[in-house]
Chain A
Amino acid sequence: MIKLKKFEEKVVPKKTKKIFDKLGLPQAEQEFLAGLGAQHESESVYHQMRDEWKQKGVIFLDTDTALKEYPSIFKKYFATVVPASDNKFAALNSALWSGGTFIYIPKGVEVTMPLQTYFRIDTKQMGQFERTLIVADEGSNVHYIEGCTAPQFRAASLHAAVVEIIAKDNATVRYTTIQNWSKNIYNLVTKRAVIGKNSKVQWIDGNLGSGVTMKYPAVILKGKGASCELLSISFASKKQQVLDSGSKAIHLASNTNSTIISKSICKDGGVTNFRTFVYVDKKAKDCKSFVQCDALVLDKKSSTNTYPFLNIKNLNAKINHEAKVSKIEDEKIFYLMSRGLSKKEAQALIVNGFLDSFVKVLPMEYAIEMNQLIDIEMEEQA
């Protein structure tokens, strides 16, 4: 039986180890992960993977080590999806990047267990500029999970990451991220995937914390028959908290499909913005795209905005877009209260139901955690 190297065996700063122990990461590593990485501040402190995947040629390392050990693969793909000139935060990240994760899945290898990296900022006025590069070769399959947290300080910190995903022909990549940064973090990230023939990318994005988030994961559907699914939720629960999220699907090849589903909730003066961009190229025939954006406003102080943009140059496509903004209906709360729930419990239950389509695609452990996080956010309601 292949044994997994324990988290404790690695040299991890004592304080960091304590936090990771509290979060149950060593246990998670042993029970249901193929590999685990952890980044503290701007440095990667731990990256370990089960031997069975190492033997199959899977690479799961922090970017610094990957560049030293596998320079030919790393340099071939690095900055090909998000170049330094893309936007000012990508330029900043390209100039200062440190840490992050590099994953390479060889041809035909299907990693059945998820790989996970955990990011934490513990210092005030800190900048975290990690770089994540995922390359899934032909016919491979991988699920990558990312989690982010930080404690509360008076001074703000910056998280300006760049994530690049390359899914070659017939590959499947599932990227799950749940950010629960503290409310003084500026989370300004650039995330993009380029996918080939018949490949599939599923992007699952949960935004609960941070003071300001600007995150628009994009998928460029370059190969025929490629498909992508972008699911995201935003929960703005504090005054002056602005969660600006959205998704982009760029159809450059025929028979490509994209599904964008976004759910946002705002309360206590929070602001949620949703921006989508769907582009269908002239040469791309028979494309399908579905965009859905639902927003829930829980009180009078909060506001929500949606700004979709559809640019369709080939009208053989089938495009559907729908957006809806509403409040929790009084009738629903009344019904649940008549069944014995308090008003707060009824509201929390309705919010959990509203986010159900997002939560049910998460792995079981994360789905439970997600429900708990939503309950905590709801309990904080004044």
Chain B
Amino acid sequence: MIKVILTKNDKFLKLSSLIDNKNKKMLLALDIVNCQISIVDDLIENGINECEIIFNLEAGALLKYILKFEGKKIKDSYTICPERSRIGANGLKKSFFRDLTVNLLGQNSKADLNIKITSLKEQQINLITKQIHLSSNTSSLLNIKNVMLKNSKFHCDNLIKIEKDLSNVTAIESSKVLSLVSDAQVIFKPKIEVDSQDVICKHEAAILGLNEEQIFYLQSRGMSCKRAKDFLLKSFLN
């Protein structure tokens, strides 16, 4: 386990700067104390497919987390987490696993998590997220977008938990999947557990296809069908 405390001086962090190259399986704990920080998750590009990351946000902390994974080949991975065996890799070797926990411990802390994934052929992506609010006046926003290609699998397990006697808490989670094929599989397991009154919690999940009318419109403006599709895919992810 790697434990890091981030303070006022830290503004930007690439997770690859924290890793030891020999370690293929990771557990990262980041304590963010009274600072505004952007964190880019580039662990997959550095050969780490499976990782558990825990963010502890103290009072006034502001976190922006970005995970972008655009259809790169993943090396064969190994099982490290008990959750992983629970959700099952189903024999697909080219998979990656990410377990993100955001503990909003202090007042006025805020987390903004953006995950954008393009799954290649026969890839399995397992994502577990937890937004745990332990203090009042906190907000968390999780945005997941995934483009799925042939035979890929996406397993998404999200939890929003609001502890007792908190006020002015906002927690939003949004998962959108754009599928270009029919033979892919998606499992969504979003959970909301609320023990306080003064909260706004939202969860939304959608599975969409490319809009034929939009493709037709772009073709009428001179684009080829393939280019129009690429264009719409890019606009979905951005």
Contacts and interface: CB of A to CB of B under 8 A. Distances in A.
Given A306-B192, A310-B186, A310-B188, A318 B208 contact: yes
Contact of B202 (A305, A310, A313, A322): A322
Contacts of A315: 148, 177, 179, 181-186, 207, 209
Interface in A273-297: 282, 285, 295, 297
Contacts, number: 110
A174 interface: no
A319 B206 contact: yes
Contacts of A299: 197
A314 interface: yes
Contacts of B209: 315-316, 318
Contacts of A298: 197
Interface of B: 148, 164-165, 177, 179, 181-209
Given A300-B197, A302-B197, A315-B186, A320 B191 contact: no
Interface residues of A, number: 33
Contacts of B193: 303, 305
Contact of B203 (A297, A309, A317, A321): A321
Nearest to B153: A313
Contact of A310 (B183, B187, B199): B187
Contacts of A295: 194
Contacts of B148: 315
A382 to B, nearest CB: 15
Interface pairs A-B: 7 shortest CB-CB: A315-B179, A310-B188, A325-B201, A321-B205, A319-B207, A323-B203, A316-B182
Contacts of A316: 179, 182, 209
| B148, B179, B196, B197, most chain A CB atoms within 10 A | B197
B196 A321 contact: no
A154 interface: no
A314 B207 CA distance: 10
A55 interface: no
Given A310-B189, A315-B183, 8 more contacts: A305-B194, A309-B187, A310-B188, A312-B187, A315-B148, A321-B190, A321-B205, A323-B204
